[in-house]
A = this chain, B = another copy of it.
Amino acid sequence: MNPLFNLEELDRKTAVDTIGLTGKNILSVDQFDTELISKIFDRAREMRAMVNTVGGVDLLKGRVLAALFYEPSTRTSSSFIAAMERLGGSVIPITQGVKFSSVSKGETLADTVRTLEQYADAIVLRHPQVGAANLAGDYAHIPVLNAGDGAGEHPTQALLDLFTIREELGTLNGLKVAMIGDLKNGRTVHSLTKLLLHYNVSLRFVSPEILRMPLKIMNKVIDAGVNIRETHDVADVIENADVLYVTRVQKERFGDLAQYEEVKDHYVITSELIERAKEKMIIMHPLPRVGEIHYAVDNDPRAAYFRQVKNGMYIRMALLAAVLGEA
């Protein structure tokens, strides 16, 4: 029986690892300092240029990503899948939030991860419980990328948010960034705030009283000596903000619905509101939105939220290439 492959001829090019993330997990924004962020952004820009030129390459050919989503997230799972595919890699899609057999048979996350690592070269994990990604990272011998673990972290979202600000406004320094909406429960605003503390920014936190930024984040901000103000109304920040980062204020958060009705309009972005905004500023949103940015705003060049989505793919391409030793 002749051999199928001539292994001598199958040449694996040596890993590049200029970023220093080869084989590493991506679990938390706390992993990233300005130097590493800068390198990732450089790679993300290369990814953008490549996609615009040819759509895809063979950089990760022969590599397999297991996309393990315990809760559905079309946006994030599609972003990772497209990122892997445009780099020539393949995906095991376990992404539609169904009950998985092994899980329903009572298998632990640790066992599921140790199973998938037998097939795949990296795992991207979305899980409803805080700490799930860390646990997965502890057990796996291949890189684990945290795509959101409950109220915990969502580091690739924070990186794409930061990248969007950088690319849209040309710098991360000297900016006034306003975060709007549910700052208590919003995973994305917590993570983005932490990343922004690496830069010379002013922060404006705009939320209902009951949804103010948690103490642990506030204390970090204060310790960093950053210029910071809290307010209850987006009208207070609209004229000077360089970035409006909008999140949803959910009715369900309010015990007293009358209170919700009273404040809700203070966090809605309308065409009238942004007439008072700077000419060069951007409006961001992690999406999906449900009314907190009016549709009429979409046509304004300052509406950056769909460009923000696209940046997610470039950032994930950069990270996948990096953890798999090809960047």
Contact = CB atoms under 8 A, between A and B. Distances in A.
A53 B7 contact: yes
B43 A74 contact: no
Contacts of A103: 74
Given A4-B59, A106-B290, A54 B101 contact: no
B107 A287 contact: yes
B71 A289 contact: no
A55 B58 CA distance: 13
A33 to B, nearest CB: 16
A2 B19 CA distance: 11
Contact of A85 (B5, B90, B118): B90
Contacts of A1: 18-19, 39, 42
A258 B139 CA distance: 36
A100 interface: yes
Given A55-B63, A57-B10, A120-B82, A288 B4 contact: no
Contact of A78 (B10, B92, B96, B290): B92
Interface string A107-133: 100111011101111000000000000
Contacts of A62: 54-57, 86
Contacts of A321: 4
A62 B12 CA distance: 21
A81 interface: yes
